[in-house]
Amino acid sequence: MKKYIGRMIQWGKKNIVILMYVLAAVFIEMVSVLAVENNPVITRPFIELGILGFIACLIGLVRKNKIRLGICIVLLLIQTILDLGFVIVYDMTGQYFDYGMLSLRNDAMGILESIPMNFIAFYASLFFCIVFIVFGLRAVRRNAVLEVKAKNRIISVVAGLIFLVCSVFAVKNNNSGTVDKYSKMINNSQGSNYTSMGIIGNVVNEFAKGIIYTDMEYMNSDKIDDFLYETVTEKSPKFGVSSDNNVIVMLVETFEWFSFIKSEEYPNGLDLTEEQIEYLFPNLTQFYNESVVMTNFHSREKTDISETLSILGSYPTDAYVDYDFEYNTLPQTVPNLMRTLVDENIQTRSFHNGFKSFYNREKTHKIFGFESLTDSYDMYDMADKMLAEGKIKETTMHDYLSKGERNLDSEMIETCKDVMFPTDKRFYTYITTITMHGIYYERDNLKEHMEKLRSVYTPKGTGEEAILMNYVSTVMEFDKALGVMMKDLEKKGLLDNTTIVMFGDHNCYYQQLSNYVKDIEDYDTKNYYTDLYKVPLMIYDKNLEHQEIDKFTCTADMVPTILDLLGIRTYENIYYGNSVFTSRESVLYSRAYGIFVGDGIVCRSLNNLLYVSDMVSKEYQQQFRTEAKELIDEIRYCDQVFYQDYFGDEKNYSTFIENMKKIQR
């Protein structure tokens, strides 16, 4: 026994550089996971340990300790950079890496303004790297050249292959097991991607899933039809009240209630009186008082997904509509249905004071049914043309984006209002704003708003408050844009027959402003954790009296709600949500974040609860579970619609149109 122990000690001394590398790599990975999950434990480290063992065995074939040390230092630095990169992505967006994100890489770089360095992960990883280098150099001085016998080389190669096979088997088990991803949405008891596999393990697994395990077993048309056309939506008490109206949908970037609503829910909001709020936000205040207000509306998505959900009403798993399905046929979108069932001559146009190439909007908005998408470049040309023709005395649209600032929403509305809101035809207009997009700092083009804010509010001087004030100034700019729109509609005589739907695409996660204002640090809180995702949804319509609806609603409810108001009946299983005017509550499934959200409930799967408020009853938990299971079925079949380009088949397209026309009679 002593003989074998002695050999092991001797082997350990010779291979101390490799052993230290493995330990340093494990510690760096655990620290990085700790920075994201507040827990360093990785429950299924088989992919990562297999790769690490394979690398260690390969390094063991090298005779010179100096070269071993150099290879290990390079590998540790690469791992540190990768881990820190994915930690930063999580800190910025709250998202774990998935393969589909590669489609968004150019867009992500386009919005990157500052990197919120995670100092815990950075300094801890740096510490382990330095410790490894110091002790590694000592080991090199003691043993410059090592004897690697032929037998030991064979053992290293065999051991390395065994480690590699274990890693491959772990990847295969994750992606091609007997349990499909829809069943995992119900039964998966594992933690987050990083807690389960580690950061590097998750990256390897996602690449394998995206490159190798991409095939989906397609259902036949009859089975899909039976599900899609199973149930017709019920008519709400507001069904058809807007049947003759124009429609304006406004996606308001990073829109939060706390900017212009005083409430105990926002303990760290600006201490403004009701009179001061009305002074700073006259148009939003009036709009709120004259609209149907969803006080319990939630969004937990990125802008591109929120935008698509509000137009299409569903979203695929493991893919992005903007890039993976840019050529699909989508007759179920609101603009396409309005053209098919309401008025074939209706004007359907979308507007964004960013760039049409961003999120591939220039292609996807065509399949959504928009005849055109007007972006900032188009708006600059429009303003120049109006100036040249003498219609305006000075430009209405400045190019602030090239100066590193956001374009102004009020300038977009002022420039495009005659195209957005025509008087000679019915219209469906979709507007995506940009001014309120983070990061928040004092902007020259918002100086007027900031001066107005400071005239009624004296700051206390904290860093978080400064960020909040900068954010509030962007909301004041949107208030100005809203005023331009409402006055133009009223002047043209369109206000009484136009339905305006205004919503926030997501909470203000930039600089963790939402967490700060709502005083929510983590899941361990007495507040409703789901309040973090609570954002505005308001519907203005002269046929609707002011009303506050406090049932749980989400972004997926918007399409069914708009169709309900327009008097268009449809099929429940084609859309993920329900009209806000029915009694039925929806469950939010977040494509970007891989979670289900209900009223006071957050879960990774139905058997893996992350948070349940003390206020949630057992009855509601059961209702949530039932609704979530039905949603998972809808996701399963809607995935088929997307991945097969189901309506791209002429027969399936005709069946959809015929069925939709049939249920309108």
Q: How many CB atoms lie within 10 A of CB 7?
A: 10
Residue 430's pLDDT band, with cuts at 50, 70 and 90, is very high
pTM surpassing 0.85?
A: yes
What's the pLDDT tens digit per position in 319-342?
899 999 999 999 999 999 999 999
Mean pLDDT on 540-555: 96
Residue 284, phi then psi, degrees to nearest 5? -65, -40
Which neighbouring-strand residues pair with 339? none
| pLDDT for residue 153 | 79
Residue 374, phi then psi, degrees to nearest 5? -100, 120
Closest CA to 480 of 452, 499, 506: 452
Residue 104's pLDDT band, with cuts at 50, 70 and 90, is low
Mean pLDDT on 276-296: 98
Strand stretches in 483-641, DSSP E: 498-504, 537-540, 547-549, 553-554, 588-590, 595-598, 601-605, 608-612
Encoded tokens for 503: 């919503």
Which ranges of 389-524 would DSSP assign to H, the alpha helix?
409-420, 447-456, 463-491, 513-518
Mean pLDDT on 4-28: 79
Compute the Cα dihedral for 629, 640, 182, 592 and give only its sign.
negative
pLDDT-above-90 percentage for the chain: 68
Mean pLDDT on 290-318: 95
Q: How many CB atoms lie within 10 A of CB 295?
A: 17
What's the pLDDT tens digit per position in 575-615?
999 999 999 999 999 988 889 999 999 998 999 888 898 88
Q: Which residues of 630-655 are buried (b: 16+ CB within 10 A; e: fewer)?
A: ebbebbbbbbbbbbbebbeeeebeeb
3-class secondary-structure state, position 409: helix
Q: What angle do CA 378, 354, 488 make, to 5 degrees?
A: 65
Which ranges of 44-198 would DSSP assign to H, the alpha helix?
46-59, 65-93, 105-111, 119-142, 150-175, 181-187, 193-197
What's the pLDDT tens digit per position in 127-169?
888 888 888 888 777 776 666 667 777 878 888 899 999 999 8
Residue 325, phi then psi, degrees to nearest 5? -130, 35
| pLDDT for residue 304 | 93
Average pLDDT, the chain: 90
What's the pLDDT tens digit per position in 493-517?
999 999 999 999 999 988 889 999 9
N- to C-terminal Cα separation, the chain: 88
Query: In this model, does residue 411 exceed pLDDT 90?
Result: yes
**Which helix (H) or strand (E) segment is 384 a member of?**
helix 376-388
CA distances from 169 to 91, 160, 161, 245 (A): 31, 14, 12, 58
